[in-house]
Amino acid sequence: MLRHLGEKRSFSHNLRLAVLLCLNAGFVNAAGFIAFAVLTTNVTGHAALLAVNLAKTDLRAAGVVTLWLTLFLFGAFASSWYIGRIGRNRPFAYTVPILFIIAVMLFVALAGGSYNHSLSETEYLAGSLLLAMGMQNALVSVVSGAVVRTTHLTGMFTDLGIDLSVAVLSRKNLNNVLKRRILLKLVIIVSFLTGGVIGGVAYLHIGFHAFFVPVGFLLVALFYDYFRIRIKRAIVHQLHKS
């Protein structure tokens, strides 16, 4: 799921990546919104909010939103820079960014126990999630060759609409490439929404402990390839023995 790049990367690799990390992004977005009243996985709304705050000359609020935008941007930069520095084909190039995102989720889950809804705490806790989601979005984009984006749906809905129009126009000559593009976008949208429902329900029931769940998603993503290879080797070895 993370190891294969370029021509070695298959549709199934992108599908598994989309399911797991779109679930994660949807979960963080919903739980983060209920916790902080802040969208924590994308920046489109924050750009509009920044414009509104500037129009009202509310420089304090504008500064906070600018910080959040910068944190998301820095997360994307840091993740992409690290992967490029280590080498996209290196086995552990994606380990450090994922571990950092896990650390942020643990921090929010633990720090939430003393969260007093103050503006300063909201700033750095919500900002931490935006930083982590910027890292995740860049990582997934690099791995999938910009085919999968996990933290926002605007582009997905636009591209899905375009692909569906092409499918309607050429319904008698649908090819597998177009079918797979449509399926992947549907999976991304459904996974994000499903993750949002799970995240919202989890936060309403267990509060900030809900942020331990994304840690589980990320650990599965981190070790999926390793355990899958080990299991396949064990099966092959057992078949040879028998």
Other CB atoms within 10 Å distance of the CB of residue 61 = 15
pLDDT, tens digit, 9 for 90 and up, residues 20-38 = 888 999 999 999 999 988 8
The three-state (H, E, C) secondary structure of 85-123, written as one string: HHCCCCCCCCHHHHHHHHHHHHHHHHHHHHCCCCHHHHH
The C-alpha atoms of residue 218 and residue 99 are separated, in whole angstroms, by: 8
Whether the CA torsion 233, 234, 238, 241 is positive or negative: it is positive
pLDDT, tens digit, 9 for 90 and up, residues 88-141 = 777 678 888 999 999 999 999 999 888 888 888 888 899 999 999 999 998 888
pTM exceeds 0.95 for this model? no
Segment 216-229 shows an average pLDDT of 76
Question: In the structure encoding, which two tokens stand for residue 224, read together?
Answer: 């999926």
